[in-house]
Every structure is written in structure tokens, then in C-alpha cells.
């Protein structure tokens, strides 16, 4: 079940009314109901993986209490290592078994030794990377003494499986989200309205901008040999905007949906495409993941407090792990290595060289667009073709226009799409000012704006056979 589907609309409506009208007098029933509907939501993809998330949740529930009750530090460490091995083992098996098996076959093949790969393929459970990291933050924080273990299994299961953010985040910390399941919740019309507004904005970003840009991006990356350099460069620029609008759109919908049920999720994006340094970019992009790696990997490794060499090593390691987290492909590893290398360069040069913000913005944007080629292309063959085309095969502007028209049908539609995208990026840059000005207007003006956005979604959005959210594959 995906957010941009009629099925989810019906599901959300039924859950909302049952939650507030049937179970509003009992906090425990509300939490239990959220567990049930979250499992229905997750099982809509593949019910066979419900057992996986249930067993994982049950295991970490007891491990958390075990760590808190342990009398010695050694026993606490044993329990922590146990949960790390189980959770990362499950993640590694389901996400990376095929990757390493195929890599091993290819390695032996390169040496002239033919071996057969496994006869079966492992299916990747949707959202496993997200809820695994969420559970790990819970047990690690208990081990560090920053969090008390919960004795309420219903609240814990609801925390792990909460459907608005289950399959693509934000990756919530237990200290933020779990206490919200203990507190009585009453319906607030004002909060619900802000939630619906966030969802509307998220759907606009997803179906109008991201999915429309994907119509051009996907064919180019699927068969780059059929396109010239200008089309490939435009597809790279489009994908930079697409992946931002797609994933931040999901996060907005998730946050807005959570507000409908009285919960507040963390902000996952803060206008990263306007960052003026790579470090600034990663403070703004997928905040829940980057802060997770900082707190649970970078800092424990020593951060930047144990010398320059160790700091550079830690940066490279974090980004290599981040690349693997994003996908079981060597192209993601290269993407992570490129990001980590440039972060090291910036780490070394930033104290000595101060770029103006506009210069930093241009460099970061160009670097991000380029590295996203590795993120999106998938295979080394496609990556090689893309580079060859970019540096040798440019055709006329009319060819580029022809390719656009083949996808979007008319010059008018292309113009409207680019104009809407440009206006969105401008509004996104000044979102606080735009939101503040909107909130100060009277109700008819506000509702006219909401209806205008809704009409744009219906007219320009990809509403039939819409693609999944990009980060569902991670």
C-alpha cells in the first residue's frame, strides 16, 4: 500500500475515524489499534514478512529490558552484541545475500573459474533498513543509559511499526517517538489541519514534480545508449530535483499523517538543495539517517577528536556504510566513496579557504548532480555509457526538445511543468516566508490556495500507474 494510491486514501479515512471515535477513551486500545492497522499496512506488500518485523520487535523488547536489568557491564555488552548481530544479521541476509553471492560468482569468473550461484533469490522486505536502525537506536540508547526500557509491549510494537513512517522513515529515535505512545491523545483540529497541509504539500512534490520528472529520467537511465549527451545531462539535473521531491514528499506525507493521530515526527529535510557546502548539505538531507550515522557510528569511532588521520578514516567509513545502506550495488559503494572523499577534501580545506555562499552552492549542486549518476545508473555499463555520451555525444537543442516532447506530448505541457517546478523551488527556498504570509491571510484566500494546489495535483500529477517512492527500494 503506497501513499499515492486510492487504497491508502480509503485506509486512512477508515483508520482515522475508528481511532478517534471508537478508541478515543482508551490509550491502550488506541495503541493496539495502531499496531493492527500498521501490520495491515505493511502486510499489503507481502504478508510473509510480517513475522520478520514481529519477531524482531519482540526480541528487542526483551533485550531492552535485559540490558537495563543486567547487573554487570559485561552482561550488558553481551546483550548489546546479541541484538547487533541479530538485527544486522537479518538486514545483511535479506539485503546483501544476492549482492555478495553475485559478486563472488563474478570474482571467480574473472579468474577463469566458473561457479554456480545459489538457485534461489532473496526478496528484500520493504522498509527493513529503516525499522532495523530504529530498533537499534532503542537498544543502544538503553545500553548508554540515555533511555529507560519500556515495559509496555503494545507501545513498543506500535513504535517500531507505526505505519506513517514504517517503510521509508523518518528513522525515529525511541526517546522522541516512544514516549508519545504513553501520553493520552486528544483530537486537535488545528494540529490535524497542519497535518493535512503537510500531506497536501508532500503529494504535490511527489506526484506533480517528482513523478513527472521521472517520466523523462527513467527512460534515459534505463537505456542511456539511445540518448545524446544533452538529454543525459538534463536527466541528471531532473533526477537531482526528482529524488529530493520524491523523498522529502514522502517525509512530509508521513509527518502530516502522524499529526492526524496526535504524533509529531522529526523533520527529515531542511532545503538541502540550497546548501552552500557538502557538510551543510548532509546536515539538511535525510536528517534522521545522517544524524543516526553521526551518533551511532562516527562519534563512537572517535569522530574528529583523535587526530586528522582518524577523522578522515571515520568520514570515509561512514560514507561507505551509507552507500551500502542505500543499496546492495557497487555503484552505491562508489557513490559513498565519492561523497566521503569530497567530505575529506572539504574537512581539510574549509579552515583555509572560505568560498562565498553562491560559489559553494554551485560547487555542491554540480557535485551532487554528478554523483547521483552513480546513485541512479545501477550498472557499470550504464555508468560508462553515460560518461561517454556526456563527454563526446552532444546533439542540437532541437534533439533535446524532441526528446522532451516525446515524453510530455506538447511544448505547452513542458513549459507548464518547468514553470511549476521553478516556482516550487523558489517557494521551497523561502518556505518560512511563504508559509507565514499564507497563515496571515484570511480563510477564503487560504482555502483558495489549497484548492489550487489540489487542482494542480489532479491536472498535472501522475495519478495512474504512479511510480513507487524512490526510497522504498532501500
Q: The C-alpha cell of 234 is what? A: 538534463
374 contacts 335 by C-beta, under 8 angstroms: yes
Q: Which of 155-159, 177-181, 285-289, 405-409 has the lowest mean pLDDT?
A: 405-409
Tell which residue, 16, 418, 441, has the closest CA to residue 187.
16
Total residue length of the chain:
474
pLDDT at 56: 92
Residue percentage of the chain with pLDDT more than 90: 51
Q: From the CB of residue 303, how many other CB atoms can be counted at a distance below 10 Å?
A: 14
pTM score: 0.90
Question: Looking at the predicted structure, is the pLDDT value of residue 119 above 60?
Answer: no
Would you kindly state where each structural domain of the chain is located, as residue ranges? 6-187, 191-276+355-473
Report residue 111's pLDDT band, with 50, 70 and 90 as the boundaries: confident
What pLDDT is attached to residue 438? 76
Give CA angle at 234 (233, 236), nearest 5°: 65
286 tagged catalytic: no
Distance CA 450, CA 197 (A): 8
Q: What is the dihedral of CA 130, 132, 137, 143, to 10 degrees?
A: 180
pLDDT digits (tens, 9 = 90+) for 403-442: 888 888 888 888 888 888 888 888 888 877 777 777 778 8
Tell whether the model's pLDDT for residue 465 goes beyond 80: no
User: In this predicted structure, what is the pLDDT of residue 95?
Assistant: 80
* 3-class secondary structure, 197: helix
Q: What is the DSSP secondary structure assignment for residue 299, as one 8-state letter?
A: T
| 170 cis-preceded (ω within 30 degrees of 0) | yes
Q: How far apart are CA 306 and CA 259, in angstroms?
A: 42
* Catalytic residue of the set 240, 305, 326, 387: 326
Write out pLDDT tens, residues 321-339.
999 888 778 888 999 999 9
Kind plus residue range of the DSSP H or E element containing 133: helix 128-143
pLDDT at 283 over 80: yes
Rounded Cα gap, residues 231 and 459, in angstroms? 26
Q: Nearest 10 degrees: CA dihedral of 254, 258, 264, 266?
A: -10
Neighbours of 14 (CB within 10 A): 11
Q: How far is CA 61 from CA 64, 151, 168, 175, in A?
A: 5, 8, 22, 15
Say yes or no to pLDDT of 466 above 70.
no
Round the average pLDDT of the chain to a whole number and report it: 88
Amino acid at each position: 500500500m503506497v501513499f499515492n494510491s486510492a487504497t491508502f486514501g480509503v485506509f486512512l479515512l477508515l483508520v482515522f475515524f475508528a481511532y478517534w471515535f471508537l478508541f478515543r477513551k482508551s490509550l491502550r486500545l488506541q495503541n493496539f489499534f495502531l499496531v493492527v492497522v500498521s501490520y495491515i499496512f505493511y502486510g499489503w506488500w507481502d504478508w510473509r514478512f510480517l513475522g520478520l518485523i514481529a519477531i524482531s520487535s519482540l526480541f528487542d523488547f526483551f533485550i531492552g529490558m535485559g540490558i537495563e536489568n543486567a547487573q554487570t557491564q559485561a552482561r550488558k555488552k553481551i546483550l548489546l552484541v546479541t541484538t547487533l548481530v541479530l538485527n544486522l544479521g537479518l538486514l545483511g541476509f535479506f539485503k546483501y545475500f544476492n549482492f555478495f553471492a553475485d559478486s563472488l560468482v563474478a570474482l571467480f569468473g574473472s579468474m577463469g573459474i566458473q561457479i554456480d550461484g545459489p538457485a534461489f533469490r532473496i526478496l528484500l522486505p520493504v522498509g527493513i533498513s529503516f525499522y532495523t536502525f530504529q530498533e537499534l537506536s532503542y537498544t543502544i540508547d538503553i545500553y548508554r543509559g540515555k533511555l529507560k526500557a519500556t515495559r509496555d509491549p503494545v507501545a513498543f510494537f506500535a513504535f517500531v511499526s507505526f505505519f506513517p513512517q514504517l517503510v521509508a522513515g523518518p528513522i525515529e529515535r525511541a526517546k522522541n517517538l516512544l514516549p508519545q505512545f504513553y501520553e493520552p491523545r486528544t483530537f486537535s483540529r488545528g494540529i490535524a489541519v497542519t497535518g493535512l497541509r503537510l500531506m497536501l504539500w508532500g503529494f504535490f512534490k511527489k506526484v506533480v514534480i517528482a513523478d513527472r520528472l521521472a517520466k523523462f529520467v527513467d527512460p534515459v537511465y534505463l537505456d542511456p545508449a539511445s540518448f545524446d549527451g544533452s538529454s543525459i545531462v538534463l536527466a541528471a539535473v531532473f533526477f537531482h530535483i526528482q529524488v529530493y521531491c520524491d523523498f522529502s514528499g514522502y517525509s512530509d506525507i508521513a509527518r502530516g499523517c502522524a499529526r492526524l493521530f496526535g504524533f509529531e515526527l522529526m523533520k527529515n529535510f531542511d532545503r538541502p538543495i540550497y546548501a552552500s557546502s557538502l557538510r551543510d548539505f548532509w546536515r539538511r538531507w535525510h536528517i534522521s539517517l545522517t544524524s543516526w550515522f553521526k551518533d551511532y557510528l562516527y562519534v563512537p569511532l572517535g569522530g574528529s577528536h583523535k587526530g586528522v588521520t582518524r577523522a578522515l578514516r571515520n568520514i570515509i567509513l561512514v560514507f561507505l556504510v551509507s552507500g551500502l545502506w542505500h543499496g546492495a550495488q557497487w555503484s552505491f559503494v562508489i557513490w559513498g566513496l565519492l561523497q566521503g572523499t569530497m567530505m575529506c577534501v572539504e574537512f581539510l580545506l574549509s579552515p583555509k579557504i572560505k568560498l562565498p555562499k553562491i560559489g559553494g552552492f554551485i560547487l555542491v549542486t554540480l557535485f551532487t548532480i554528478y554523483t547521483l549518476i552513480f546513485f541512479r545508473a545501477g550498472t557499470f555499463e550504464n555508468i560508462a555509457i553515460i560518461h561517454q555520451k556526456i563527454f563526446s555525444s552532444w546533439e542540437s537543442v532541437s534533439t533535446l526538445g524532441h526528446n522532451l516532447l516525446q515524453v510530455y506530448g506538447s511544448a505547452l505541457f513542458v513549459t507548464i511543468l518547468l514553470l511549476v517546478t521553478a516556482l516550487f523551488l523558489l517557494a521551497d527556498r523561502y518556505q518560512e516566508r511563504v508559509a507565514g504570509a499564507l497563515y496571515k491571510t484570511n480563510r477564503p484566500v487560504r482555502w483558495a490556495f489549497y484548492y489550487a494546489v489540489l487542482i494542480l495535483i489532479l491536472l498535472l500529477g501522475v495519478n495512474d500507474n504512479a511510480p513507487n517512492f524512490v526510497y522504498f527500494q532501500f
